[in-house]
Amino acid sequence: MTREPNAELTRELRTLDAAHLLHPFTDHAALAAKGVRVIARAEGIWIWDTEGHRILDGMSGLWCVNAGYGRRELAQAAYQQMLELPFYNTFFQTTTEPPVRLAQRLTALAPPVRGQPFTHVFFTSSGSEANDTNVRLVRRYWDLLGQPQRKVIISRCNAYHGSTVAAASLGGMSGMHEQGDLPIPGIVHIQQPYYWGLREPGETPEAFGLRAARWLEDKILEIGPQRVAAFIAEPVQGAGGVIIPPPTYWPEVQRIVQRYGILLISDEVICAFGRLGHWFAYEKFGIQPDLVTFAKAVTSGYVPLGGVLVHERVARVLVEGGEFTHGYTYSGHPVACAVALANLDLMQREALPERVRHDTGPYLAERWATLADHPLVGVTESCGFVAGLVLTRDKATLAPFPDAWEVGLLCRQHCFDSGVVMRAVGQRMIIAPPLTMTRADINTMIERIVRALDATWADLQQRHGL
């Protein structure tokens, strides 16, 4: 792939892309009219497109390239494993070395819960498949315990747990449910703990956090505790817009799941592997999950891999319970697992979670908070290396702009033009940068975001006379 701007290549790929490639979550007519951006290469925290733009990747690809781009040792691990043994399965009384080593490694990294370790791992190729696995796992668990009526899984509105039929059902995105008769039976949703959107007048974040957690208890009692199998949640909702719950939320949720004996699934597809300053996010929030979903940064996104970490409470029952009729061709793919091992080595060597926890995370929080001074910005929030802000026309009331103005998308465009990738979720702008960022990189990122906010502001004034 070329390193110089290449108009001809850009044109050719745009045409072929529009003709043949179906993109995720995309209005294809609108995309073809705008023209897709072709990303050609990347190094460190930077990506380059075929038009020669160098852009700071404030989203780590798609919340996954935690170790940054261009890490030779990850390519080397894949190359060596492909030469040695590109594929063999883990089905019929066989195994290979990388998934065994990785399962051991992940269970050792995960802090114990209730004094017991996470003992086992089930590998998949994505977060969606991992959450599908969770649906089957929790139902199997309760069946084996002689409580087959425990089928219902409670999730939350605006959650994202993936795009397969079961994972999209677990998710709480109404737009996804509308297409395809979702959710499937046995999956119900409560409201999300979004203080800025759901608070009552005068309510403190602490009081709101308790109220939001108790929606879970209300739902359990409504369904009947003996019918509830599990509660699934992202510690911090990612795709929903970086929704960071008040500090009172998780301890109360923990009390509730414990009280009714239901399983807790912590979906850490975004939040694990240093993103919030810990290897696993449940550690940060002091929660005690029975199952932990992971994907994305387990390989820093270099190759697809996901899975479920299974706590002793569940693993014991499953292992003694006979055959669990579930599995994928690529459960424990040796190349993916070899890359994951190299990635964990790298993250450990460079102490990336600790760096985020003690150094660059607090620095990002400090710099991110300065964006609240901008006339367009209502609230800023961050947690480790995820952060979000609310675009508003009125800083006091947080009143939104009319949807038709598409302010989030406008701001996203100005971010690109200012050389930084941010994601728009409605009128929230969010980032999840690579964990390798230095303080100087954070300054560069913030400068570019300010430039983009200024340009958005000027644009809105011009278009709508603000």
Cβ nearer to ligand PXG, comparing 171 with 457: 171
Q: How far apart are the first and last CA of the chain?
A: 44
What residues from 275 to 334 belong to the interface with ligand PXG (CB under 6 A)?
295, 306
267 binds ligand PXG (CB under 6 A): yes
User: CB under 8 Å, gap of 24 or more: what pairs does 191-197 form?
Assistant: 191/156, 191/157, 191/215, 192/156, 192/157, 192/158, 192/159, 192/237, 192/240, 192/243, 193/156, 193/243, 193/245, 193/246, 193/249, 194/158, 194/241, 194/243, 195/245, 195/246, 196/378, 196/379, 196/390, 196/398
Measured CA to CA, the distance from residue 6 to residue 50 in angstroms comes to 6
Minimal CB distance residue for ligand PXG: 127
As measured in angstroms, the least distance from the Cβ of 262 to ligand PXG is 20
String marking each residue 56-95 x if it binds ligand PXG according to CB under 6 A: ------x---------------------------------
290 neighbors 314 (Cβ within 8 angstroms): yes
As measured in angstroms, the least distance from the Cβ of 52 to ligand PXG is 26
Single out the residue of 132, 234, 290, 441 in contact with ligand PXG (rule: CB under 6 A): 234
Cβ nearer to ligand PXG, comparing 167 with 460: 167
CA distance to 107, 265, 314, per residue, from 320 (Å)? 19, 21, 10
Tell which residue, 303, 284, 305, 285, has the closest CA to residue 294: 305
| DSSP element (H, E) containing 456 | helix 439-464
What residues from 22 to 61 belong to the interface with ligand PXG (CB under 6 A)?
none
String marking each residue 359-378 x if it binds ligand PXG according to CB under 6 A: --------------------
The length of the chain in residues reads 466
As measured in angstroms, the least distance from the Cβ of 221 to ligand PXG is 27
What residues from 104 to 143 belong to the interface with ligand PXG (CB under 6 A)?
126-128, 131
As measured in angstroms, the least distance from the Cβ of 129 to ligand PXG is 7
Cβ nearer to ligand PXG, comparing 172 with 246: 172
Q: What are the φ/ψ torsions at residue 394 (nearest 5 degrees)?
A: -145, 105
Instruction: Give the range of 2-10, 234-242, 329-337, 363-371 binding ligand PXG by CB under 6 A.
Output: 234-242
238 binds ligand PXG (CB under 6 A): yes
Q: Rule CB under 6 A: which residues touch ligand PXG?
A: 62, 126-128, 131, 160-162, 234, 238-239, 267, 269-270, 295, 306, 423
